[in-house]
Copies of this chain bind each other. A is one copy, B any other.
């Protein structure tokens, strides 16, 4: 019996690929074992359980996404940064729907701290440097941006924007324009 060479890392990566192919919720220990041509039980030397596997995939996705966003953001500011951030986000979700869904997995406090989640919020805050917003408006604006991007990407993935004449790419661009205008002219209370 030739060994296949399983490791945490290979399982996590294969799990992420599987998620992109069939959906994150269909990533299962047995499906992954099947993919490697080994028995289910063999995976348990490498991951604690199904939840552990999913968490690892989620952390992988968060890290990948953070890297992409960081690269996109480098050297940009103002609306350029806003668009780069948003596009990095959306592109990742479109290229890797399963991984994106994985990144949405709610992590326990400890795991979240060890994840790239902190990096994400720092980067979101960085976008606003190009706009003149003080606290607490800044926090509100961050929440608005995060909500809008996440919501758009989720709804787009669910096919919500595919059934009308207006194509999704155009709406996306116009929404970025609108958000930019809003940030430049944030209403005071």
Q: List the interface of chain A (C-beta within 8 A of B).
A: 25, 104, 106, 136-137, 139-141, 143-144, 146-152, 154-155, 158-161, 164, 166, 170-171, 174-175, 177-178, 181-182, 185-187, 189
Question: Within 8 Å CB of A139, what residues of B?
Answer: 164, 166, 171
- Please measure, in the bound complex, the distance between the C-alpha atom of A149 and the C-alpha atom of B178, giving whole angstroms: 16
B140:A178 contact, CB within 8 angstroms: yes
Lowest 10 CB-CB distances: which A-B pairs, in order?
A: A151-B151, A147-B151, A147-B152, A150-B151, A181-B187, A140-B174, A139-B166, A148-B148, A140-B171, A182-B182
Question: Within 8 Å CB of A106, what residues of B?
Answer: 158-159
